[in-house]
């Protein structure tokens, strides 16, 4: 095995992981854009998404794609209800809203532990075999996940770009007051924005469930990655999140190849701190600061 194949393989692996970070981060940054609050419960919706996919495929025997779709819709509805029931008084209240989402995350995680137990579950792989491109090997199950993730992102793009509610949502993210002046009923878009944001986290969880384990503790790492991505990309910036998520995936993949996992983790936190201090608007400079 020579160096260039290793690098190519690392690049492909990194892009795949980066795509999944992107699903997490897009929802996270959307919620920040609408609510102006860092959603500390975001990882728990990922976790609930893995359980959604698990129960719908193994207990209800739904096909995988249908399970993902049902999980998404349920998460959007749950998110919207939680927003209206709990987060409503804390809209655009950065610090207090954040503390409330910490409480929400703790409640969700421990309810999941009470109902589903601490032992990790697993879903059978959705595809067997592997795809070979030259000497690079990609397991087919990963290719499925990548294709589904791309479809979700394309649908999100079409929704935000071309549909009326999507455009209104973007307007609210861009400038809440001007959007209100233009007749956009912002109060609808808080629950909608939060619902779609956490729905994306749940989709990420549902898609990842066959690759990783299904467990009540699985939300912490995706939340951490979403943090890192949105800081690098700029809070509230979706294009920034795209660039940052894919870069993070590839950099992590290279770094663990060359300098080892723990040093790579530290390096990433140093980059995050440097970025926040010197360029809080993010890589593309479109996030708000």
- Whichever of 172 and 235 has its CB closer to another protein, that residue is 235
Give the shortest CB-87-to-another protein separation in angstroms. 9
- Whichever of 106 and 147 has its CB closer to another protein, that residue is 106
Give the shortest CB-110-to-another protein separation in angstroms. 4
Burial of 163 (0-12, 13-18, 19+ CB in 10 A): exposed
Q: Collect all residues with Cβ–Cβ distance below 8 Å to 277 and sequence separation of at least 6.
A: none
- Whichever of 100 and 160 has its CB closer to another protein, that residue is 100
DSSP helix/strand/coil, 285: coil
* DSSP letter assigned to residue 288: -
By the criterion CB under 8 A, which residues form the site for another protein? 32, 37-38, 86, 89-90, 94-96, 98-100, 102-107, 109-111, 113-114, 224, 227, 231, 235, 262-263, 265-266, 269-270, 272-273, 276-277, 280, 289
Pick the closest to residue 63 from 158, 148, 142 (CA basis). Answer: 148
Give the shortest CB-161-to-another protein separation in angstroms. 27
Give the shortest CB-92-to-another protein separation in angstroms. 11
Give the shortest CB-199-to-another protein separation in angstroms. 21
Question: Rounded CA gap, 205 and 199, in Å?
Answer: 10
44's tokens: 């728990």
How large is the C-alpha radius of gyration of the chain? 19
Do 287 and 237 touch, CB atoms closer than 8 A? Answer: yes
269's tokens: 């936190």
Give the shortest CB-173-to-another protein separation in angstroms. 15
- Whichever of 126 and 230 has its CB closer to another protein, that residue is 230
- Whichever of 44 and 156 has its CB closer to another protein, that residue is 44
DSSP helix/strand/coil, 34: helix
Residue 133 backbone phi and psi in degrees, to 5:
-125, 100
- Whichever of 89 and 183 has its CB closer to another protein, that residue is 89
- Whichever of 123 and 283 has its CB closer to another protein, that residue is 283
Give the shortest CB-113-to-another protein separation in angstroms. 5
CB atoms within 10 A of CB 248: 24
CB-side exposure of 7: number of CA atoms within 13 Å? Answer: 3
């Amino acid at each position: 095995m020579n160096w260039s194949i290793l690098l190519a393989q690392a690049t492909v692996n990194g892009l795949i992981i980066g795509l999944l970070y992107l699903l997490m981060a897009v929802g996270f940054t959307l919620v920040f854009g609408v609510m102006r609050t860092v959603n500390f419960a975001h990882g728990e919706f990922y976790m609930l998404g893995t359980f959604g996919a698990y129960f719908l495929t193994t207990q209800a025997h739904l096909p995988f794609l249908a399970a993902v779709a049902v999980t998404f819709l349920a998460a959007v509805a749950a998110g919207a209800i939680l927003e209206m029931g709990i987060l409503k008084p804390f809209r655009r209240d950065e610090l207090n809203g954040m503390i409330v989402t910490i409480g929400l995350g703790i409640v969700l995680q421990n309810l999941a532990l009470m109902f589903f137990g601490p032992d990790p579950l697993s879903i059978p792989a959705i595809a067997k075999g592997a795809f070979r491109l030259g000497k690079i090997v990609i397991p087919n199950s990963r290719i499925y996940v990548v294709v589904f993730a791309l479809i979700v992102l394309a649908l999100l793009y079409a929704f935000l770009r071309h549909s009326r509610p999507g455009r209104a949502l973007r307007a609210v993210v861009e400038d809440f007051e001007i959007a209100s002046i233009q007749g956009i009923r912002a109060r609808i878009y808080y629950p909608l924005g939060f619902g779609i944001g956490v729905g994306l986290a749940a989709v990420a969880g549902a898609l990842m469930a066959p690759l990783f384990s299904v467990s009540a503790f699985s939300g912490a790492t995706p939340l951490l990655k979403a943090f890192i991505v949105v800081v690098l990309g700029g809070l509230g910036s979706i294009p920034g999140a795209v660039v940052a998520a894919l870069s993070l995936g590839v950099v992590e993949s290279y770094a663990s190849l060359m300098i080892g996992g723990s040093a790579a983790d530290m390096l990433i936190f140093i980059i995050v701190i440097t970025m926040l201090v010197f360029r809080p608007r993010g890589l593309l400079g479109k996030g708000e600061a």
